[in-house]
């Protein structure tokens, strides 16, 4: 398989100033695959573009060329639009089966992705080539890696996903599909996987279904995707979600389904509704936009405020702010405007420039909010650094009062299932009560939606049950999958393991 070029010297001067999105939880990645469609890689590139919000550091595409009888790949740092819209790149990826991946690093070098870590990963087995793309995180990857290295495995990346390839290589099963099942029975954690051989497209979710995966129909072909919004961009019809613990195998004969694992109670990540997924996606039959609007309405019931305007922190706070406004009767207004065209800056990152990071992306609508009581609605507070800067901007623009309403419960625990979360000690809500957080942020009031309110907004009228329907560990500390590697190190104390 052709090696991808390393980033050139010009990459060394491409600096991104601190932005409002550095103080967010980040999904690890998005995955997309197409089978049975001519020039499948072109559709994969479009699908990855729709999933760009799930990972902006790097992307990759693998396709099988039946004419030459080989797998081809392109792996690049940066955005899909900058790499996979070039004709010369896409011409090198012919064929009717292809998979792709966009990455925001968690396992591997956080914030410092190397080209060797960019997926899909590829391996040549005795029965042919195999490419794999992973959304999630393996919680026993370090233990598996040590075991495999002791047995002679040579790792080419720092990605936990590579453990799956080595386990497959050592399996005594005969077929690729059976080797994959065999390997996955050894791993723990959260994963949605898309894989391909010369003749198959494979999709699988972990037994708890923590991370999303959907199946779509594209003409006579098939599509697997992290979200339904990516089906829309390629004109595919949504068929259904791949179910927790299910493996779907797509061939020329159609789609077959298998259940390689014992049945378990699903624990889908509830933060997909809060922030990760695009608002135009559907999850569990519920529009993500509608779920976020309902969260805002629940928040208005639980934490009313006296204000002149309800203003979202763009863009992720917008649906919740609309719901808050509708429920409260307080006018919705765009008090903060996002500059859609600011990405990376090539300016030398002095302290002054770093401090301008928020202003590069967000600007206050001064004429609107001067002399007004403003209630800002955001999706979450992680470290609190960006919230303080936004508060300062709004006050500097002449606001009379600044209130914050947060469309998720306080984020008190780290995630180990494929989300880039700071160490728990750096989470503001771990170190402070809500009252203390309000004082730290220097706002007139601060409130978060309750965990029960979040569940009600996602269709569970009774709130959070004793056996919760979702993975909400970042809010509750109830980890449905024990973080084995962290526990083995002794650097993590769990409140409770469900």
Which residue has tokens 């990405």?
A: 343
The distance from CA 231 to its chain's CA centroid, rounded to whole angstroms, is 17
Tally the residues of the chain: 498
In order of 195, 200, 223, 240, 314, the CA distances from 256 in angstroms are 15, 11, 14, 13, 42
Crossing angle for the helix pair 162-170 and 141-150, to the nearest 10 degrees: 50
In this structure, are strands 362-364 and 373-378 parallel, antiparallel, or unpaired? unpaired
Contact between residue 325 and residue 292 where contact means Cβ atoms under 8 Å apart: no
Burial class (CB in 10 A: 0-12, 13-18, 19+), 445: middle
b/e 139-176 (16+ beta carbons within 10 angstroms → b): bbbbebbeebeeeebeeebbbbbbbbbbbbbebeeeeb
**Closest alpha carbon to 51 in 66, 70, 29, 84:** 29
**Which one is catalytic: 29, 163, 229, 269?**
29
3-state SS string over 307-335? CCEEEECCCCCHHHHHHHHHHHCCCECCC
Beta strand 478-479 with 496-497 is parallel
Is 29 one of the catalytic residues?
Answer: yes
CB 440 within 8 A of CB 453: no
Give the Cα separation of 300 and 294 in Å (integer): 10
- Cis ω for the linkage preceding 223 (within 30 of 0): no
CA angle 423, 79, 420 (to 5 degrees): 10
| DSSP labels, 95-159 | SSEEEEEEE--SSSSTT---GGGPSSEEEEETTEEEEEEEEEEETTHHHHHHHHHHTT---SSS-
* Residue 327 neighbours by CB distance under 10 Å: 18
C-alpha to C-alpha distance for 81 and 75, rounded to whole angstroms: 13
For residues 146 and 149, give the distance between their C-alpha atoms in angstroms, rounded to a whole number.
5
Determine the 3-state secondary structure of 235 from DSSP. Answer: coil
Label the pairing between strands 247-251 and 201-205: antiparallel
* Cα 222 to Cα 149, 205, 240, 243, 318, distances in angstroms: 37, 17, 12, 17, 33
Q: Which residues are catalytic, by number?
A: 29
């Amino acid at each position: 398989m052709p090696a991808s070029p390393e980033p050139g010297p010009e990459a060394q001067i491409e600096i991104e100033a601190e932005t409002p999105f550095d103080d967010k939880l980040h999904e690890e990645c998005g995955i997309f695959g197409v089978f049975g469609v001519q020039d499948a890689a072109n559709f994969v590139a479009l699908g990855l573009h729709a999933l760009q919000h799930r990972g902006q550091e790097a992307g990759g595409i693998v396709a099988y060329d039946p004419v030459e009888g080989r797998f081809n790949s392109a792996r690049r740092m940066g955005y899909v639009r900058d790499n996979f819209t070039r004709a010369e790149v896409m011409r090198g990826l012919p064929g009717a089966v292809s998979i792709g991946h966009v990455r925001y690093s968690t396992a591997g070098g956080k914030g410092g992705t190397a080209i060797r870590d960019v997926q899909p990963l590829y391996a040549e087995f005795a029965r042919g080539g195999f490419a794999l793309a992973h959304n999630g995180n393996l919680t026993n990857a370090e233990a598996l890696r040590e075991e495999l290295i002791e047995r002679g495995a040579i790792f080419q990346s720092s990605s936990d996903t590579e453990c799956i390839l080595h386990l497959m290589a050592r399996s005594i099963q005969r077929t690729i599909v059976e080797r994959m099942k065999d390997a996955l029975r050894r791993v723990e954690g959260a994963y949605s996987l898309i894989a391909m051989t010369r003749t198959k497209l494979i999709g699988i979710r972990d037994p708890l279904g923590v991370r999303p995966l959907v199946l779509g129909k594209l003409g006579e072909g098939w599509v697997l995707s992290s979200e339904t919004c990516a089906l829309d961009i390629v004109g595919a019809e949504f068929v259904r979600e791949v179910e927790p613990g299910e493996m779907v195998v797509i061939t020329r004969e159609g789609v077959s389904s298998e259940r390689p694992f014992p049945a378990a109670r699903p624990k889908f990540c509830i933060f997909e509704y809060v922030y990760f997924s695009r608002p135009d996606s559907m999850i569990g039959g519920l529009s993500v936009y509608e779920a976020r609007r309902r969260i805002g309405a629940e928040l208005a019931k639980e934490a009313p405020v006296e204000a002149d305007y309800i203003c979202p922190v763009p863009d992720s706070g917008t649906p919740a702010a609309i719901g808050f406004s509708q429920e409260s009767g307080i006018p919705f207004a765009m008090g903060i405007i996002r500059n859609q065209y600011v990405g990376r800056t090539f300016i030398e990152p002095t302290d002054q420039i770093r401090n301008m990071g928020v202003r590069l992306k967000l600007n206050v609508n001064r004429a609107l909010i001067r002399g007004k009581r403003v209630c800002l609605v955001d999706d979450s507070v992680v470290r609190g650094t960006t919230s303080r800067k936004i508060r300062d901007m709004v006050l500097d623009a002449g606001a009379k009062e600044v209130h914050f309403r947060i469309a998720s419960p306080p984020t008190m625990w780290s995630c180990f299932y494929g989300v880039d979360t700071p160490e728990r000690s750096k989470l503001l809500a771990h170190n402070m009560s809500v009252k203390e957080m309000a004082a730290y942020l220097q706002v007139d009031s601060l409130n978060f939606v309750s965990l029960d309110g979040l569940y009600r907004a996602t269709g569970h009228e009774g709130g959070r049950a004793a056996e919760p329907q979702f993975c909400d560990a970042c809010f509750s500390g109830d980890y449905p999958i024990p973080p084995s590697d962290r526990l083995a190190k002794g650097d993590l104390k769990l409140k409770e393991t469900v």
